[in-house]
Each structure stands twice: as C-alpha cells, then as structure tokens.
Amino acid sequence: MNAPLTRWQAGDGAAPRHVAVIMDGNGRWAKKRGLPRTFGHSSGARQVRALVEHCADLGISHVTLFAFSSENWKRPADEVSSLMSLFVLYLEKEIRDMNLNGVRLKVIGDASRFDARLQKLIADAQSQTAGNTRITLTVAANYGGRWDMLEAVRRWQAAHPQRPVSELSEADIATYLSMADAPDPDLLIRTGGESRVSNFLLWQLAYAELYFTDVLWPDFSVQELDKALAWYADKDRRFGAVTQSVAS
Ligand code: IPE
Ligand code: IPE
Ligand code: MG
C-alpha cells in the first residue's frame, strides 16, 4: 500500500482548495454484507473524520460533503429518521474534536424541515467552531442545488426590493448562494459508481473536475482519496481558455 500523501504532491498542478464529495453507496455496502442500510450509513459517517484530517494535512482549505439531499425525504421513514439520528449523534460527538483540530463546521441546506433539537445542535455547532481556521468542513443536509439558486435570487430580491431583475448579475447570485464564502469546488468526488451530480452544488460545480469511482463510501479510505487527488493533479484546467502548450 502506498504511503499517504503528506503535503500537496502534485507536480506542477495547483493544490485543490476545495474538494466536494457525494458520499454514495452506503446502502449497497450494507446490503453486500447482509446488514440493514443504516449500518452502511453509520460506517460511512465513521470515515469522515480521517478524510477531513487528511485534507487539512494536505493544505486543502475546504471540504464539502453531501450528507442528505432535498430528494432523500422520498426514502422510507425509518431510513430518514435513522439518518437524522446519525446526524444528531455526529454533531454531539465530533464538535469537541473539531475544536481541538481547528475544523470550522458549516451546514448548508434548508434546516427548517429538521426538528427543533437538530436545528439547535446545528446552530450551536456552527457558532462553537466559527473561530477555527485550519479547514472548513461544510455538510450539505436537506440541500439541493436548485433550491440554493432559487433561494439566492429570492434573497437578492428581498435585499434590493427597488432593483429590477434585469440588474441581477452572476456575481449577485454568487453572493447569496449558501457557499458564498468558499471558493468553488476544484474537485468533485462521487463514490458508489454513479456518474451524476444528483442536484448537488449545481452553480458552484461549473468548472470542477469530476471524479467518479465505484468504491462504496464506507470503503473510501485515505488511500482512495489520494488516488482522486493524484488524478486531479494531472488535469489541465483551461476554464474555456487555451493553455500555453495548446496555443503555441
Ligand atoms: C448515500 O448512500 C447516503 C445518502 C444518500 C444519505 P445511499 O444510501 O444512497 O447508498 P446506495 O446508493 O443506496 O448504495
Ligand atoms: C446523492 O445520493 C445524495 C447524497 C449522497 C446525500 P443519492 O443516492 O440520493 O442519489 P441518486 O438517487 O442515486 O441520484
Ligand atoms: Mg445512493
């Protein structure tokens, strides 16, 4: 097994500042073992800490994890409620160590649908970790990219009731999106074998490199993360322009 990457080792490539992850495949991981789907979710949740730590060690400043989509309410009620309990447990258990490790926690998504206890835990966790600067961990919960864009436009309009929508710019929308204070993701990782974005950060992923792997989320180790980062390091990010070598 290769030793994990230490500081960013990317040849000439710039380090990703922001890595976003669609953590998919928990249910299939459990099914393969004859276990209920919820075992997959709890095993998946246990992976998070080591991966965030590894990103922080590499100098990646933002990690964003898709934990629950605005469409995941369509799942059976017992699965939804065990995902909510897991989120509560995660917040209760991890905040102390996040503070020790310099992790700032942010939660994006429509929290209004969560019960009062979870809403309070989210608010407390964010305020208790707000001063940490080593890495920002954003958890997307009841999040949808379309919801985010619609909210941004609505919030812009509420803040500028006199301005006609013809004056609304891309920069205005970006200011009101839920990830407004983060750079756009450089790298999106999706585990679990599907090659789709499933309504994650639609606006912000415009120029992300998209890495899809069959590895199921509970099996996504630090070594697997290093593979994704090595793949990213080889990319020629043109942003619509031409690189020097192509131009000449
Ligand atoms: C991802 O794993 C976790 C959530 C969507 C909450 P899944 O639960 O989607 O696992 P699969 O895709 O059914 O294997
Ligand atoms: C995406 O996974 C959402 C999360 C990982 C939280 P899903 O399992 O919900 O996505 P689909 O249904 O396969 O598109
Ligand atoms: Mg899935």
The residues placing their C-beta within 5 Å of ligand 3, an ion, are: 24
In angstroms, what CA-CA distances link 232 with 38, 137, 215, 228, 229?
32, 20, 17, 6, 5
- 184 carries an active-site annotation: no
Domain 18-144+184-234 adopts which CATH fold? Undecaprenyl pyrophosphate synthetase (3.40.1180)
Task: Tell me the CA–centroid distance for residue 141 and ligand 1, in Å.
Answer: 13
What residue ranges do the domains of the chain occupy? Answer: 18-144+184-234
| Cα Rg, the chain, nearest whole Å | 19
CA 208-133-200 angle, 5° bins: 30
pTM as predicted: 0.95
Specify the amino acid at residue 8: W
> What stretches in the chain show pLDDT beneath 50?
10-12
Please tell me the predicted confidence (pLDDT) of residue 182: 98
- 24 carries an active-site annotation: yes
Q: In what order do the strands lie in the sheet with 187-190?
A: 103-108, 135-143, 62-69, 18-22, 187-190, 209-212
223-246 pLDDT tens trace: 999 999 999 998 999 999 998 655
Phi and psi for 24 in degrees, rounded to 5?
Answer: -115, 150
Please tell me the predicted confidence (pLDDT) of residue 15: 84
Please tell me the predicted confidence (pLDDT) of residue 244: 65
Residue 227 in tokens: 């593979």
Between CA 172 and CA 181 the distance in angstroms is 13
